Amino acid sequence: MDRSEFVSRLDEELDTDAYADLDASPNGLQVGSAGGEVEHVAFAVDAAVATAEAAVRAGADALVVHHGIVWGGLDRVTGRAHDRVAPLIREDVALYVSHLPLDGHQELGNAAGVADLLGLDDREPFGELGPEYIGQRGMLAEPATTGELAATLDSDLHHDGEGVQVLDFGPDEIEDVAVVTGSGSDWLDEAVEVGADALVTGEGKGKAYHEAREAGITVLLAGHYATETFGVRALQELVEGWGLETAYLDHPTGL
């Protein structure tokens, strides 16, 4: 497949342009020219030296990630930035990034993947960010305790030895669940406003403890990396349907 067609297909599927003014990450093609062919695509959560070198070893023509290497501008390609870019440029491996668009996609996104894992019904977009959303909300098929919900997340997510942290300040039985993956504790107030019993996210800020306690809502911190493997995995399946060879590069951080 022509590289420009590959990029265009992903941009269209992920509605990349809708997040252009909302995201510190410049989404889409971050490294590489528009020319060339793509036959083998590697997928990873993070663009790092480890995943760039793994993509080269896998013989990939493109690396698709959730977290790219540019955040709000790139002044110099030195140090860490150089080390991450060098193997990609040297071996002509394109880097495609989808940050907030992949969080907010209601079918392929990270929050949608967590919602699938929890079996949420009656879903709707959640996590307002300007005119867009970066999460999802739904109802458990049957009420569950905080412990049961945490156990599901703990057993099915890759934590690299770290478990799910719980701020257990909500009702004894949870039914209504809001999900914003990664660092999503800033949407705690919105979860309270819509009547959610629990907010599932990756990691929390220090203020989340008292905010959750005072609001009477449960917060489950299931790991930034662990909650954000779903989107790139879903894109891998999508791209396989285009007839391309793929590989998933699992590099958990424990965070």
* CATH T-level fold of 3-98: 3.40.1390
Residues of each annotated binding site for a divalent metal cation: 66-67, 103, 224, 228
Going from N- to C-terminal start, the domains of the chain cover: 3-98, 103-224
Residues of each annotated binding site: 66-67, 103, 224, 228
Q: Which residues in 40-74 are b (16+ Cβ under 10 Å) and which e?
A: bbbbbbbbbeebbbbbbebebbbbbbbbbbbeeee
What is the mean pLDDT of the segment spanning 147-162?
85
Q: What does the mean pLDDT of the chain come to? A: 95
Task: Give residue-wise pLDDT tens across range 123-139.
Answer: 999 999 999 999 999 99
Give residue 160's pLDDT.
Answer: 67
CATH class of 103-224: alpha beta
Question: Do 103-224 and 3-98 fall under one CATH topology?
Answer: yes
- The beta-carbon contacts of 80-83 under 8 Å, at least 24 apart in sequence, are 83/49
Give residue 76's pLDDT.
Answer: 85
Supply 227's token pair.
């909650």
Give residue 123's pLDDT.
Answer: 98
Residue 75's pLDDT band (cuts 50, 70, 90): confident
Calculate Rg over the CA atoms of the chain: 18
Give residue 212's pLDDT.
Answer: 98
Residue written as token pair 């709707």: 124
